[in-house]
Amino acid sequence: MSKSPLRLGIAGLGHVGSEVARIIETQGAHLSRRGGRDIVVTAVSARDKNKQRSCKLAGVAWVNNPVELAAHKDVDVVVELIGGSEGVARDLATAALKASKPFITANKALLAHHGVELASLSEKHNVALYCEAAVAGGIPVIKTLRESLAGNAVKEIYGILNGTCNYILTTMRETGRAFADVLADAQRLGYAEADPTFDIDGMDAAHKLAILSSLAFSSPVDLSALAVSGIRNISLADIHFAEELGFRIKLLGVSRQTEKGLMQRVSPYMVPLTEQLAHVEGALNAVFIEGSAVGPLTLIGRGAGAAATASSVLGDIIDAANGGAPPAFGVSVANMKAIKSLPDSDSIGAFYVRLMVADEPGVLADMAAILRDARISIQSLLQKGRNEAGPVAVVFITHDSNEKAMADALAKLGKMPSVLEAPCVIRIL
Amino acid sequence: MSKSPLRLGIAGLGHVGSEVARIIETQGAHLSRRGGRDIVVTAVSARDKNKQRSCKLAGVAWVNNPVELAAHKDVDVVVELIGGSEGVARDLATAALKASKPFITANKALLAHHGVELASLSEKHNVALYCEAAVAGGIPVIKTLRESLAGNAVKEIYGILNGTCNYILTTMRETGRAFADVLADAQRLGYAEADPTFDIDGMDAAHKLAILSSLAFSSPVDLSALAVSGIRNISLADIHFAEELGFRIKLLGVSRQTEKGLMQRVSPYMVPLTEQLAHVEGALNAVFIEGSAVGPLTLIGRGAGAAATASSVLGDIIDAANGGAPPAFGVSVANMKAIKSLPDSDSIGAFYVRLMVADEPGVLADMAAILRDARISIQSLLQKGRNEAGPVAVVFITHDSNEKAMADALAKLGKMPSVLEAPCVIRIL
């Protein structure tokens, strides 16, 4: 090793931060070979100095305010593992880049909200901004889009980006238990947060998709352009109908270049069982990319967990050691081009719809009339069982239809006196 | 664009070379944004200047001897798409690196045979050597191992690395046609070479696995350490038995770190249907990596074809434009450590064995005695049909057994008078 050691300041010593520090402590020789120089943690910041951790941090400086790491004389590279789009994480990012210190983060919220601003700072100060761990845990999708597929025009990217939702949907299907029940279990086991809103309503996946879209389409990160819905309304009945129809329900982030603009959506989707992603189960994540040259490319791996996330952080650290510094989002900010969003009125796709209806004559005829008037044609229809005392499920799959027309038709269907619950609609991939 | 254009010299204008040039000609604006500078082809070399090609090459200099590209005054980066481990390709690689020009290649044979020598040259002259297109076509597995997983100790890597073999095995299973028949068709359709030896006997996959092993385990590329066998002896009967037993037969390259050394093997394997790779069909390739931090990671995509291979070459070109230059095999040559090979006598695994035997009393007893004496225990056994006039298939799956003991037992089984054909053995993943 002729080069001087690379000295890291780590902000945040939760599961991921502790694991990064532990691997650096225990795999030092390996990391030195990969980075061409020693990698050492010289300074850290965390709320509780005395908490039991897996890393030793012998001889490491503790600073009270994480933002001080940016100016710390013994820190060459700042690693931010605190989280949150504002406050300390944002201040630290700004300070590190302004101090021309490479900044490595796992913070998807920070990048989804302030990605362009931080990328500008990194260019202005000629210093790298790395974020592999911000999306899909250990899956190297950031680097793949930023570097490996740089010669491609990406046509479409979609993925299972939230492990909590995938775990819940998989467990519902495998155990036949209801959403609320599985969610409660996941919370008890630590797979879901005490407040699960962020995961199950799709915002976590949206942050990740906004970052991936920018990388895929060389456009500015723009969280506001995404349509977002979650899995709260997915019932066991839908999961069973999906299987019967040859699908599996997954919460997907989908970003697709169409002739009329960029479609970006986080939503439950019916994924055909013939697709690799239909078989990605439990807490795994997966990303599918269709590129103009590479064709279809699928990456599958652990989307969360201390070790898998640490793997991505360490990859970025070794990049910093080797001095690689491509633009954070694949192109410089000046070279980003905003892409018009596809209006819902131009968005086309097939839909699965489940209606709970009173088992009485004429219901189908009324339904069919509403769909006909909205110019939505039905590809297949299932009605299961008979129950004169209560609701029965009527399930249909449409041919390709317009989002707006579908929304209007659903509103009308929901108002039919014989439709006893709000209609459940799931897009088909 | 404040930087000067990156000027490429391309050696070899076959399918891949022409596609790389065509994309540079037609997607210039896109590539300039990704590379932060214009990317232009300034010089080329190919056998036939007048051949009809998809690229225009207007104003491009032609040189007769590809090696001249290394010294060409208008060439900053040399792209080698000729192939072959010796001769012009090797001379060009050497000349380019000695001239301190980044060298980009899709040549797996060159790297499998001379990888360490070329990596040394690239370090000595402080210039990058890129080879993403040499393994698994458009799948970014080189970069993933070299950079993204740098913080991991890789435990195991295996993959479907030869699209021709995977196409043949898939087609045999789907159509029920025999190996020779499907191969002849594949040759007629251009999926297989006129001389298919290199593909179907496993040497193509072996070149790729030797490169992946070096990247995964930070060891010198060492083709001679691999045990290699192909798919010539796989029969339809084996494919059907595999399905019945819950497996699919794939030609895999497998490299695994064990306590007693590194196991590196190209061979047909029975892949459990529960594995993602069992469902990778046709000409697709796939790689599975188990890392100490990332856990399991699977990459699936096109392993060949002009466009997919060009995608990888272009990714390397954009890396060169951005100035990234990690060591070619993830660590410097000085930091590579040779790893002892696992001797066959220490190699452990389960086996599928099919014997074609005369349908007469006592055969099973004789077989069982040979296996008992070799200390090989049987997990399950199938005998299909009865045929007093000819051979019947006896299929068994062993518990974990020693490679050497199995080879010895097979030799003895093959010599039994009632065993009418050479035994077919397939390893179980």
pLDDT digits 0-9 by tens, A259-280: 999 999 999 999 999 999 999 9
- Record: contact A332-B36, CB cut-off 8 A: yes
Q: Do B160 and B279 share a domain, yes or no?
A: yes
Q: Which residues of B touch A143 (CB under 8 A)?
A: 140, 143-144, 147-148
Per-residue confidence (pLDDT) for residue B2, from 0 to 100: 65
Distance of CA B12 to the CA centre of its chain: 22
Q: Do B149 and B277 share a domain, yes or no?
A: yes
Give the nearest partner residue to A299 out of B151, B299, B318, using CB atoms. B299
Q: Please report whether residue B358 resides in a domain.
A: yes
Q: Do B207 and B242 share a domain, yes or no?
A: yes
- Record: contact A314-B152, CB cut-off 8 A: yes
- Record: contact A294-B308, CB cut-off 8 A: yes
- Record: contact B314-A151, CB cut-off 8 A: yes
Which chain A residue lies closest to B287 (C-alpha atoms)?
A299
**Residue of B10, B25, B34 to mutate when probing chain A, most A C-beta within 10 A:** B34
Which chain A residue lies closest to B314 (C-alpha atoms)?
A151
Q: Which residues of B touch A144 (CB under 8 A)?
A: 140, 143-144
Alpha carbon separation from A397 to A48, A379, B258 (Å, rounded): 54, 6, 51
Q: Please report whether residue A110 resides in a domain.
A: yes
Q: Do A188 and A323 share a domain, yes or no?
A: no
Q: Do B146 and B102 share a domain, yes or no?
A: no
Give the nearest partner residue to B297 out of A31, A276, A301, using CB atoms. A301
Q: Please report whether residue A412 resides in a domain.
A: yes
- Record: contact A299-B298, CB cut-off 8 A: yes
Identity of the amino acid at A395: V
Q: Please report whether residue B64 resides in a domain.
A: yes
* Mean pLDDT computed over A316-340: 93
Q: Do B295 and B153 share a domain, yes or no?
A: yes
Nearest alpha-carbon partner for A109 in A146, A144, A134 = A134
The residue behind tokens 């996941």 is: A186
β pairing state of A284-291 and A295-302: antiparallel
The CATH number of residue A361's host domain is: 3.30.70.260
Q: What is the mean pLDDT of each run of 10 residues along chain B (429 residues)?
A: 88 97 97 96 95 94 97 98 96 98 98 98 97 98 98 98 96 96 90 88 98 97 96 94 96 96 97 95 96 98 96 98 89 95 91 92 90 93 78 93 94 94 94
- Record: contact B151-A302, CB cut-off 8 A: no
Which chain B residue lies closest to A316 (C-alpha atoms)?
B148
Nearest alpha-carbon partner for B268 in B371, B162, B192 = B162
Give the nearest partner residue to A147 out of B30, B298, B315, using CB atoms. B315
How far off is chain B from A210, nearest CA to CA, in Å?
19
Q: Which residues of A touch B327 (CB under 8 A)?
A: 36, 322
Phi, psi of B349 (to 5 degrees): -175, 170
- Record: contact A307-B317, CB cut-off 8 A: no
Q: Which residues of A touch B323 (CB under 8 A)?
A: 324-325
How far off is chain A from B416, nearest CA to CA, in Å?
45
In this predicted model, what pLDDT tens digit does every residue of A47-74 receive, in sequence order? 999 999 999 999 999 999 999 999 999 9
**CA–CA separation, B20 vs B81, rounded Å?**
10
Q: Do A28 and A125 share a domain, yes or no?
A: yes
Q: Which residues of A touch B29 (CB under 8 A)?
A: none
* Mean pLDDT computed over A96-118: 98
How far off is chain A from B232, nearest CA to CA, in Å?
29
- Record: contact A312-B148, CB cut-off 8 A: yes
B61-62, strands of its sheet edge to edge? B61-62, B39-45, B6-11, B77-80, B103-105, B129-130
**Tokens encoding B222:** 């060492």
The CATH number of residue A193's host domain is: 3.30.360.10
Do B409 and B335 meet the contact criterion of CB atoms below 8 Å apart?
no
Which residue range is the domain that position A60 belongs to?
6-138+309-334
How far off is chain A from B424, nearest CA to CA, in Å?
31
Do A200 and A183 meet the contact criterion of CB atoms below 8 Å apart?
yes
- Record: contact A294-B302, CB cut-off 8 A: yes
Alpha carbon separation from A149 to A290, B162, B316 (Å, rounded): 10, 21, 9
The CATH number of residue B22's host domain is: 3.40.50.720
Q: Which residues of A touch B218 (CB under 8 A)?
A: 30, 33-34
Q: Which residues of B touch A18 (CB under 8 A)?
A: none
Please write down the HEC assignment for all residues of chain B.
CCCCCEEEEEECCCHHHHHHHHHHHHCHHHHHHHHCCCEEEEEEECCCCCCCCCCCCCCCEECCCHHHHHHCCCCCEEEECCCCCCHHHHHHHHHHHHCCCCEEECCHHHHHHHHHHHHHHHHHCCCCEECHHHCCCCCCHHHHHHHHCCCCCEEEEEEECCHHHHHHHHHHHHHCCCHHHHHHHHHHHCCCCCCCHHHHCCHHHHHHHHHHHHHHHCCCCCHHHCEECCCCCCCHHHHHHHHHHCEEEEEEEEEEEECCEEEEEEEEEEEECCCHHHHCCCCEEEEEEEECCCEEEEEEEECCCHHHHHHHHHHHHHHHHHCCCCCCCCCCHHHCCCCCECCHHHCEEEEEEEEEEECCCCHHHHHHHHHHHCCCCEEEEEECCCCCCCEEEEEEEECCEEHHHHHHHHHHHHHCCCECCCCEEEEEC
- What is the average pLDDT value for chain A, to the nearest integer? 95
- Record: contact A324-B326, CB cut-off 8 A: yes
Q: Do A166 and A289 share a domain, yes or no?
A: yes
What is the set of active-site residues of B? 208
Give the nearest partner residue to B147 out of A150, A301, A315, using CB atoms. A315
- Record: contact A295-B301, CB cut-off 8 A: yes
pLDDT band at A1 (very low <50, low <70, confident <90, very high): very low
Q: Please report whether residue A392 resides in a domain.
A: yes
Contacts of A190 (CB under 8 A, 6+ apart): none
- Record: contact B294-A138, CB cut-off 8 A: yes
Q: Which residues of A touch B16 (CB under 8 A)?
A: none
Give the nearest partner residue to B140 out of A31, A148, A302, using CB atoms. A148
Alpha carbon separation from B348 to B158, B380, B428 (Å, rounded): 16, 18, 11
Which chain A residue lies closest to B305 (C-alpha atoms)?
A294
- Record: contact A293-B307, CB cut-off 8 A: yes
Residue A194 burial (10 A CB sphere; 0-12, 13-18, 19+)? exposed
* Mean pLDDT computed over A295-301: 98
Q: Which residues of A touch B143 (CB under 8 A)?
A: 140, 143-144, 147-148
3-state secondary structure of A336: coil
Q: Do B242 and B320 share a domain, yes or no?
A: no
How far off is chain A from B242, nearest CA to CA, in Å?
21
Q: Do A251 and A377 share a domain, yes or no?
A: no
In this predicted model, what pLDDT tens digit does every residue of B297-340 receive, in sequence order? 999 999 999 999 999 999 999 999 998 778 999 999 999 999 99
Per-residue confidence (pLDDT) for residue A2, from 0 to 100: 65
Q: Which residues of B touch A313 (CB under 8 A)?
A: 151
Q: What proportion of chain A, given as a percentage, has pLDDT over 70?
A: 99
Q: Please report whether residue A381 resides in a domain.
A: yes
In this predicted model, what pLDDT tens digit does every residue of A357-387 receive, in sequence order? 998 888 889 999 999 999 999 999 988 777 7
- Record: contact B30-A153, CB cut-off 8 A: yes
**Tokens encoding B275:** 């594995």
Give the nearest partner residue to A297 out of B34, B138, B292, using CB atoms. B138
How far off is chain B from A7, nearest CA to CA, in Å?
16
Per-residue confidence (pLDDT) for residue B1, from 0 to 100: 46
How far off is chain A from B334, nearest CA to CA, in Å?
9
Q: Do A392 and A278 share a domain, yes or no?
A: no
DSSP state of A328: T
Among residues A208, A260, A337, A412, the one annotated as catalytic is: A208
The domain tally of chain B equals 3
Give the nearest partner residue to B318 out of A150, A279, A314, using CB atoms. A150
Which chain A residue lies closest to B315 (C-alpha atoms)?
A148
Helix axes A108-124, A87-98, angle to 10 degrees: 20
The residue behind tokens 């694949």 is: A330
Q: Do A280 and A364 share a domain, yes or no?
A: no
Q: Please report whether residue B60 resides in a domain.
A: yes
3-state secondary structure of A181: helix
Give the nearest partner residue to B294 out of A150, A151, A301, using CB atoms. A301
3-state secondary structure of A37: coil
- Record: contact A310-B151, CB cut-off 8 A: yes
Which chain B residue lies closest to A142 (C-alpha atoms)?
B148
**CA–CA separation, A20 vs A389, rounded Å?**
59
* Mean pLDDT computed over A209-229: 97
Which chain A residue lies closest to B337 (C-alpha atoms)?
A33
Beta bridge partners of A160: A286
Give the nearest partner residue to A315 out of B34, B151, B298, using CB atoms. B151
In this predicted model, what pLDDT tens digit does every residue of A396-424 receive, in sequence order? 999 999 999 999 999 999 999 999 999 99
Do B96 and B103 meet the contact criterion of CB atoms below 8 Å apart?
yes
Q: Please report whether residue A339 resides in a domain.
A: no
